[in-house]
Amino acid sequence: MQLEAIEAGILSLIPPIIAIILALITKEVIFSLFLGIASGTIIYSITLNYGIFGFLSLTSELIINRVSANGDMLIFLLILGALLALINKAGGGRAYGEWAFSRIKNPKAAGLFTSILGLILFIDDYFSCLCTGNVMRPVTDKNKMSREKLSYIVDTTAAPVCIIAPISSWAAAVIAIIGNIGGHSGMTIFIYTIPMNLYALLSIFMVFWFCLKPKSDFGPMIRTKIISEEKNAETESSSSKKGRIPDLIIPILVLVIFSGISILNGERDGDLSSSAGSSLVFGGFAALLAAFFLYIPRGLVSIKDFFLAFTNGFKSMIPALIILTFAWSISHVCHELLSIGIFMKDFLGAVNFPLLILPAIFFGLACFLSFSTGTSWGTFGILIPIAIPICSSVSDNMTIICISAILGGGVFGDHSSPISDSTILASEGSQCNHLSHVKTQLPYALLAAIVSFLGYIIAGITLEMGYAKIVLFTLTSSLAVLVCALFIIPKILKNQAE
């Protein structure tokens, strides 16, 4: 079926509106995205008189085409799932924990080592949450750090780190959703968003701040110190006891290095990032091969367990693959079939909307939607297709800043929502009561979000400057505001308590 774009006018808003409203009501992103896709294909079919069978054929063909067009990204995510399962089975994370246990002697050092491990495991937030929490929990227990504080560090060095790492499952998802914009590839756009992803950068800064200055804690986190010595029974791990720290680091390094080399080679077209998906797959296969020769000869993993890890890893990635496929599909419906960009551009031009506050608006929308639904990837899939055509009509800088704002806002929800998968996994990995983790972490997440919102207002005001100046002015201003708040808020709350 030949698919040509139509100008659906205000009807082009129906798919994202349906997806957003249903996601908020049902808390089911996959179901909501699918109905958003279906509403778009119904509009398209009715307009072109395809009939009911045309609608069904169009929907199935659209989803199949998105899978085909982004097959390299899907394969990478499956490979990543298998690799993470293998690393866990080989005991690399266990080895790091044992090494740290004998060297860390105080809560400050325990927090810093936990944060560093979270930064190292940047390729996937699920793996980061589970591995960092389980590895460091005995160390932080020994050094009298509360489980809530551990959960906060684990959670904040998961999604906020993954979203600024060019080689990660998150980067793969975002690059695929963004696509090519004005001759720039998704990878190029993603790299430009990193210094403007205020929420992620400020959240990571706060983690190290609270590790180095434990007395700066405020809100419910302070009260957790009373139960910091409480220890739950450790569950036995099925990972190998012969694993060493290099068994954790080497496969990840191979993945990063080989993917980076492939991207820089520009493989097919001479474009440095045109082959990001195939480069990630190349790096993933190299990492699996390295894991095979690293684990099998030493008996860390049996041949049977090596291939069983593929099954378990693939299963763990299925929800992410479904969300991504539907996100790609609704993006295609809105942008390529119903021409939402043309409608929004004409509408905003007619009402003389203040475009300079667009970054802050998109950040706020992403925060609300991701917190309400507990998913960032679904938020990216809904908002980025709306933002790109609107912002592209203003400038390249506006496009990059607004995408950065959406990515940061999406991470806020994933980082703090009680129904977020990574928030749940952070609690599980740290063996912390889930609601207690959410309650103690939320004030910190809200502070980073408020400062980020103000930062995006500054970015909009300075839009006419060059991109480097926008980044410099926005980041320094936001960081200065955050540091002032981190000094003042604990003192205010302490005085109120007294």
Q: Using alpha carbons, select from 124, 66, 127, 65 the residue that is nearest to residue 92.
A: 127
pLDDT in tens, 170-225: 887 788 788 777 667 778 888 999 999 999 999 999 999 998 887 888 888 887 75
The first and second tokens of residue 428, run together, are: 């599980």
* Domain membership of residue 419 as a residue range: 9-224+240-497
Query: From the first residue on, what is the mean pLDDT of each consecutive set of 10 residues in the chain (498 residues)?
Result: 73 82 76 86 85 79 83 82 83 74 80 87 76 79 85 91 84 78 77 93 94 84 59 49 81 82 59 59 90 90 87 81 79 78 66 77 87 77 80 81 93 82 79 84 93 93 87 93 91 63
107 assigned to some structural domain? yes
Strand pairing partners for 376?
none
Q: Measured between alpha carbons, how far is 107 from 273 in angstroms, rounded to an integer? A: 42
Q: How many helices (H) and strands (E) does the chain have?
A: 23, 0
DSSP track, 109-172:
HHHHHHHHHHHHTTT-HHHHHHHHHHHHHHHHHHTT--HHHHHHHHHHTTHHHHTT-SSSHHHH
In the chain, the largest separation of any two C-alpha atoms, in whole Å, equals 72
pLDDT score of 238: 63
44 assigned to some structural domain? yes
Chain centroid, CA 133 distance in Å:
18
Positive or negative: CA dihedral 109, 110, 114, 120: positive
DSSP track, 181-194:
BTTB-HHHHHHHHG
Q: Using alpha carbons, select from 17, 379, 312 the residue that is nearest to residue 170.
A: 379
483 assigned to some structural domain? yes
Q: Measured between alpha carbons, how far is 49 from 422 in angstroms, rounded to an integer? A: 44
462 assigned to some structural domain? yes
pTM for this structure?
0.74
pLDDT in tens, 13-41: 888 788 878 876 876 778 888 888 888 88
275 assigned to some structural domain? yes
25 assigned to some structural domain? yes
469 assigned to some structural domain? yes
pLDDT score of 214: 78
1 assigned to some structural domain? no
SS3 content of the chain, % helix, strand, coil (to 5): 80, 0, 20
For residue 484, the tally of other CB atoms under 10 A from its CB is 11
pLDDT score of 275: 54
Total number of domains in the chain: 1
DSSP track, 320-355:
HHHHHHHHHHHHHIIIIIS-HHHHHHHHHHHHT--G
Say if residues 247 and 298 touch (Cβ distance below 8 Å). Answer: no
